[in-house]
Copies of this chain bind each other. A is one copy, B any other.
């Protein structure tokens, strides 16, 4: 992909928030526009990712128009894009295509989500619609009303399979949490963060064996936005970038769930490396979809950071820690930064932007030049329903 630069990035702190969806969106959009030095009326189109507002807030159908009108954005094309937890990275892909193709010079991509609700089961039930609700009606029904997302049942099953396949242990999963909570502690926009020990993570309440509470991403509210511009607009604005070098979306394939090189994440990552003309060894920093702690280890293998079965060894080597050669989830990831599902994809892009600009503060990866983000959404049979991988470079 050529000719697509990030001119501005902005996000709210992720948290269980009293603010409305539109207020969260407004804060993120204002920050991204200010960062880009652009006025709202200079945007030519907007691509809005949100997953569950229809079910949680009652605002279906024209969510983006409602959110964006509060900040004076109207008239332009506005597209509401839904792909479960990959909603806003899917929206970002469409935004990238519109700029790369020359259709637009300056567009907005917003991800926003309000998951908290006075009735806690509402958010949980909404998350449970990211499967085939008809085929999985019985399992979803059993999950309804329990204080956990149906997805943690899915992740726990995957984790057990992964333990059998790779020798990974609950201690390995806990070590992912320790790393990411450390990183989140350095990120002022993270919902949680701080210093934990492996034993703290293992001692937290069991959600579904082998997952403990701290191995599961939290319920979060928040919004993240980026302004994408063409080469021409970037020159005019003096935009610093980074550049988006690859933007790939795939949906799940039917495949052997144990074959880490056969699923949507692997396919999307391979396509993204090819599009960007680089490989995993060139990555300076990586944001992955650690909705549960075991997922991060599996994704190491899927995106080619580690060979099959070698995820735990990669983590243990320290390479993916801050200070290592290839830090993963410097933002804190979904586990620590939080996971307002429709906002997560663009929030990963915000972190990549700040790292590549050298603006990541205490969690800065020195000299970061290439970043990859991986964001998955939904579940069908044996694979993510949607998968997005982006590669960004500092120049």
Contact = CB atoms under 8 A, between A and B. Distances in A.
Interface string A9-39: 0000000000010100000000000000000
A61 B254 contact: no
B80 A82 contact: yes
Contacts of A100: 101
B251 A66 contact: no
A75 B267 CA distance: 9
B103 A60 contact: no
A55 B248 CA distance: 29
Given A74-B254, A254-B74, A264-B75, A82 B61 contact: yes
A372 to B, nearest CB: 18
Contact of A74 (B74, B97, B253): B253
Interface in A75-106: 75-84, 87, 90, 93-94, 97-98, 100-103
Interface in A47-88: 51-52, 54-55, 57-63, 65-66, 69, 74-84, 87
A139 interface: no
A386 B65 contact: yes
Q: Taking the full assembly, how many copies of this chain does it contain?
A: 2
Contact of A83 (B61, B74, B133): B61
Nearest to A1: B103
Nearest to A135: B66
B58 A133 contact: yes
A66 B101 contact: no
A100 to B, nearest CB: 7
A122 interface: no
Given A52-B61, A62-B84, A77 B133 contact: no
A345 interface: no
Contacts of A74: 251-254, 380
Contacts of A264: 75
A289 interface: no
A58 B78 CA distance: 25
Contacts of A93: 77, 79
A40 to B, nearest CB: 13
A269 to B, nearest CB: 14
29 contacts: A20-B134, A51-B60, A52-B60, A52-B61, A59-B134, A60-B82, A60-B130, A62-B82, A62-B131, A63-B82, A65-B378, A66-B134, A74-B253, A74-B254, A74-B380, A75-B250, A77-B249, A77-B250, A78-B83, A78-B251, A78-B386, A79-B81, A80-B82, A80-B90, A81-B81, A97-B101, A97-B103, A101-B101, A101-B102
Query: Which 4 A-B pairs have CB atoms at the shortest separation, nearest pair first?
Result: A101-B101, A62-B378, A60-B129, A77-B249
Given A62-B377, A80-B83, 4 more contacts: A51-B60, A54-B55, A80-B81, A97-B98
Interface of A: 20, 22, 51-52, 54-55, 57-63, 65-66, 69, 74-84, 87, 90, 93-94, 97-98, 100-103, 126, 129-134, 248-254, 264, 267, 377-378, 380, 385-386
